[in-house]
Amino acid sequence: MKFFLDTADLNEIEEAASWGALAGVTTNPTLYSRVGGKLEDFHDHIKRICDIVGPDCPVSAESVAMNRDELVRDGRQLAAIAPNVVVKIPTMIDGLAATRALADEGIRVNMTLCFTVPQAMLAARAGARYISPFIGRFDDISEDGIEQVANIVDAVSNYDFTADTVGGEQIEVIAASIRSANHVTQCALMGADIATVPFGVLKKMVSHPLTDRGIESFLNDWEKVK
């Protein structure tokens, strides 16, 4: 399982990257607005994220265009920022068409706001490199987000989509809208390829009271050895 950071905050990305376990970054318009981002700085901001994480970490940058041609135009511009930029596109008819066009040009797409198995199947056949089902937003409407996302992970693993993806790469499911370390546990158990987590959740994933207590007692006992 790989971990992506779900944020547009450069400080959080720098900090998380220094921990050694970060494999990518996902952003969305909400996350960019949360850090005070402005439209005219968006491409520069994505470039700065790419520079922080390095060329091996995919960085998802979302298009807010609503029709195929604009999504494709936007996608090309976003992909030109850096080779590791992945164009994030919502699951909708024009989004599927744009994903196909961009994939045919060798541009990787992360198909987002994916909530059902049929949506995921279509996204995969349209050439999406990543599919992002949302856990927390399912929970928000009193559905079992974990169960829904596990269904998508299962369904995607039933088929070989490598003929549809850029360079025949393996499609990966990014479990998104993660709100707790327990969500991460469930994602690992269901076999999600990637979990994209907010920085707060990443911090919680590291710690446990028994770890803290154990470190403290080892340090105390080491004092006796000296």
Residues that bind ligand G3P (CB under 6 A): 6, 26, 28, 134, 136-137, 176-177, 196
Cα(89)–Cα(182) distance, integer angstroms? 27
Nearer to ligand G3P, 200 or 214 (CB): 200
Residue 197 has φ and ψ, to the nearest 5°, of -125, 145
3-class DSSP assignment, residue 134: strand
Name which of 96 and 113 has its Cβ closer to ligand G3P: 113
- Shortest distance (Å) from residue 177 CB to ligand G3P: 3
What are residue 222's phi and psi, to 5 degrees? -65, -30
Q: CB of 23 within 8 A of CB of 192?
A: no
DSSP strands (E only) in the chain: 2-6, 22-26, 59-62, 85-90, 109-114, 130-133, 172-175, 194-197
Task: Determine the residue type at 101.
Answer: A
CA–CA dist 73, 83 (Å, integer): 16
| 201 vs 168: CA distance, rounded Å | 32
CB of 139 to ligand G3P, least distance (A): 9
Closer residue to ligand G3P (CB): 75 or 133? 133
Of these residues, 88, 203, 204, 224, which one is catalytic?
88
Nearer to ligand G3P, 168 or 200 (CB): 200
Smallest distance from ligand G3P to CB 92, Å: 16
Active site residue 226: no
Least Å from the CB of residue 193 to ligand G3P: 15
DSSP letters, 175-186, are EBS--SHHHHHH
Q: Which is nearer to ligand G3P, 115 or 134 (CB)?
A: 134
Eight-state DSSP code of residue 101: H
What is the closest distance, in whole angstroms, from the C-beta atom of residue 183 to ligand G3P in the complex? 10
> Residues with catalytic annotation?
88
